[in-house]
Structure 1
Amino acid sequence: MSPATTGDPAADLASGALEAEIADLAEAAGALILAYWRTGIVAGRKADDSPVTEADERAEAMILTRLATLWPTVPAVAEEAAAAGAELRTGAWWWLIDPLDGTRGFVAGKDAFTVNIALMHEDYPAAGAVTGPALGRSWASDHRGTGRGARTRARGGTWLPLAARPRPAVPDMLLSHAVGPAEAEALSAAHGTARWRCVDSSLKFCLIAAGEADLYPRTGPTSEWDTAAGQAVLEAAGGAVTDHEIARLRYGKPGFLNGAFVARGA
């Protein structure tokens, strides 16, 4: 049984209560989303022309309500609230949330969409949980006690440890579906590999954390809520996410937008 939460994110992170709670919450939001999957759901359009569905909005409302109940003093930045023009605040501790990462694929009936919940400490991820509702699997950071690690579980199963693997001679590269053939070839040459595949959502970070792939370079912009939870999981598993200056990817940037970065295994 997980320890009870106290309302103090630092104390709850140390006890393991926070990471257990956000993993359960991500899975609960995923169950809500799954009820809409492959039902012919129609997406609306946000101001930036990205899609949004009732599933995104209901999952975000569930997540924000639960987090505000358990940690009422911790502000949250969430994708749909941001799109609706809500005032966005960060702090010493703050939440960064994508209730449904990969909405286009979700609407198309694909299975690689995720729920992302990250606790931020100032400019960096401190903890994160990702669930793939259609895949029936979750990934989370695990900072219980003095250790640092990551774990995964199948729906209804027990948690198992995760570890990113050392880079092999020919690494496996993951790319966004937005990457065209010419850019893929250029990234392949730059990163010393001839093997790559395209995967949606924050699942790419989790596959690297599980030792099932080795790197994910991104040249185009992403929103910070797309990457924070996945970065927390990958870093906890022994990997890294660095910007174009080879510094740890930082958060709370203007517009909550990322520039180029590379996610790597151990």
Structure 2
Amino acid sequence: MTHSLTDDLASGALADVLADLAEDAARVILPYWRADAEVITKADDSPVTQADRAAEALILARLQARYPGVQAVAEEAVAETGTPDATQDLFWLIDPLDGTRGFIRGGEAYTVNIALVQGGRVVAGVVSAPATATTWVSGLRDGSPVALRRRFGEGWQVVRVRPRPDAPQAVVSHTMTDEEATRLAARHGCAQWQGTDSSLKFCLIAEGRFDAYPRTGPTHEWDTAAGHAVLEAAGGRVLAEDGQPLAYGKPGFWNGPFVALGG
């Protein structure tokens, strides 16, 4: 059965639709986790597994069935067929399994990511962490944006960024050296930092556990869009190097340096 995407976005119904879909994709992924899944190396030397591909296939099929005709830009499809020449004003950005390297190692910090972009800005998104059975989504309460978190099968709780403390803490990419992480955290006023994988970093800021996520290395838009949506709904910001909100639909879907900030 098809539905109006704009109506679901305006009513807030899209939050539950995306959360249910991301959690179903998480259930597809979990049997591959810590099961010695086959690892394939893509042309850019990044890894992909059957878990990535199975989750993406589910997400694309379900979105197309409910919202036919809406363009979808998904990581594994792009790896196989290349980036589209142009994007619609309204399109999906999908990373079915962010943090694949950590997933292969057996780590817990990997996520399912689905975001909706309109006019170059992210307007909705969901991040689901299969290993911890936790989902974060941008939603609406009484007509106002909110970030929501739930454990699979449980009710929603509102989460919000914390006011910037006297000793703010940064969360950074797990791949950084200690020296790099310390220098980058200090650049944004943080004396302490912690490393982790995937878009989980945006969600940890959104729920008030950290204050900044600075990134200098390149990322793709599907790596950031869903987490960006959740963090903005929680009262945070994601800023490009020029101080403007990080935009989407850029050439090649590449991000430059950015920082995600809480209160």
TM-score category of the 2 structures, normalised to the smaller one: over 0.9
The 1:251–1:20 alpha-carbon spacing in structure 2 relative to 1, beyond 3 Å, is: same
Indicate conservation of the 8 Å contact 2:185/2:214, yes or no. no
Corresponding letter in the other structure for 2:196: V
Please, which moves more after superposition, 141-150 or 111-120? 141-150
CA deviation vs aligned residue, 1:2-61 (integer Å, no higher than 9, x gap): xxx863222111112222111100000001000110001121011100000000001000
Query: In the alignment, which of 131, 134, 137 is matched to residue 134 of structure 2?
Result: 137
Partner in structure 2 of residue 10 of structure 1: 6
CA deviation vs aligned residue, 1:54-102 (integer Å, no higher than 9, x gap): 0000100000000000110210000000000155252121000000000
Query: In the alignment, which of 144, 157, 163 is matched to residue 160 of structure 1?
Result: 157
Corresponding letter in the other structure for 2:74: A
**Rounded Cα–Cα distance in structure 2 between residues aligned with 1:145 and 1:87:** 38
Partner in structure 1 of residue 54 of structure 2: 58
Unpaired runs of 5+ residues, structure 2, are: none
Indicate conservation of the 8 Å contact 2:83/2:252, yes or no. no
**Rounded Cα–Cα distance in structure 2 between residues aligned with 1:212 and 1:221:** 25
> Is 2:236 the counterpart of 1:239?
yes
**Rounded Cα–Cα distance in structure 1 between residues aligned with 2:206 and 2:185:** 20
Indicate conservation of the 8 Å contact 2:2/2:65, yes or no. no
Partner in structure 2 of residue 20 of structure 1: 16
Displacement of 1:173 in angstroms is 0.3
Counterparts of residues 15-164 of structure 1 (less than 5 Å): 15-86=11-82, 88=84, 89-164=86-161
**Rounded Cα–Cα distance in structure 2 between residues aligned with 1:125 and 1:104:** 26
Corresponding letter in the other structure for 1:49: D
Corresponding letter in the other structure for 2:169: D
Unpaired runs of 5+ residues, structure 1, are: none
> Is 2:209 the counterpart of 1:188?
no
Corresponding letter in the other structure for 1:62: L
Indicate conservation of the 8 Å contact 1:15/1:145, yes or no. no
Indicate conservation of the 8 Å contact 1:123/1:251, yes or no. yes
Displacement of 1:125 in angstroms is 0.6
Indicate conservation of the 8 Å contact 2:205/2:261, yes or no. yes
Query: Secondary structure of the equivalent of 1:18?
Result: helix
Indicate conservation of the 8 Å contact 1:14/1:145, yes or no. no
Coordinate RMSD, CA, aligned: 1.3
Indicate conservation of the 8 Å contact 1:242/1:263, yes or no. yes
Query: Secondary structure of the equivalent of 2:136?
Result: strand
Indicate conservation of the 8 Å contact 2:134/2:150, yes or no. yes
**Rounded Cα–Cα distance in structure 1 between residues aligned with 2:21 and 2:122:** 18
**Rounded Cα–Cα distance in structure 2 between residues aligned with 1:112 and 1:122:** 30
The 1:83–1:113 alpha-carbon spacing in structure 2 relative to 1, beyond 3 Å, is: same
